[in-house]
Amino acid sequence: MGMSVTISEATEADAEQILKLQYLCYQSEAELYGDYSIEPLTQSLDSIKAELTTGTVLVARLRDEVVASVRGTVDADGTARIGKLIVHPRMQRHGLGGRLLNAIERQLGADGTTKSFQLFTGHRSEQNLQLYRKHGYAPVQTRRVNDRLTVVTLAKDSDTRAYVASA
């Protein structure tokens, strides 16, 4: 990449940049499935601001620009649900998605109560599936949404010792 990208918790001031980046990043997914009404393309700024207060949202910055983001929450049963891992198209294929995935896992697993991690993607989203498999995720469920889309849920167990030690 050549330039230093930093990862940190998002603030409310990042919400607009996250929304714009999300809109840009999900265009390819919408095209892949022929559906431009997917939730990431219709989500409101207020909804993103609410997510900043109810879950963990991390951003990767190149100087002042948010170039990647990921969100996560931990359920009462100890399942960490990770979503909306996005990387600016010009920054893809440089390991940033993997760095963000590792960072959100560390953050969500830091208190030692997280038992597993779970995320999902569309069945045609080969780059996403490849990244998740590389990071130890395995398919645990598929759900057909319509003729064009089947959602694949992937999961992996948490090794809480690893997350607590690196926190």
Asked whether residue 3 carries a pLDDT value surpassing 90, the answer given is no
* Whole-number Å distance between alpha carbons of 24 and 11: 20
Confidence class of residue 166 from pLDDT cuts 50, 70 and 90? Answer: very low
For residue 97, the model assigns a pLDDT of: 96
DSSP tag of 13: G
pLDDT of the residue at 89:
95
Confidence category of residue 146, pLDDT binned at 50, 70, 90: confident
pLDDT tens-digit series, residues 111-123: 888 999 999 999 9
What span, in angstroms and rounded, lies between the C-alpha atoms of 31 and 154? 23
Domains and CATH numbers, the chain: 5-166 (3.40.630.30)
Q: What is the pLDDT of residues 41-74, one digit of tens each?
A: 999 999 999 999 999 999 999 999 999 999 999 9
pTM, to two decimals: 0.90
**pLDDT score, position 2:** 52
Does residue 160 have a pLDDT over 60? no
Neighbour tally for 120: CB within 10 Å: 20
Residue 44: name the closest of 20, 60, 28, 68 by CA: 20
One DSSP character per residue, 33-96 reads: HT-TT-HHHH--HHHHHHHHHHSEEEEEEETTEEEEEEEEEE-TTSEEEEEEEEE-GGGTTSSH
Res. 161 pLDDT band, cuts 50 70 90? very low
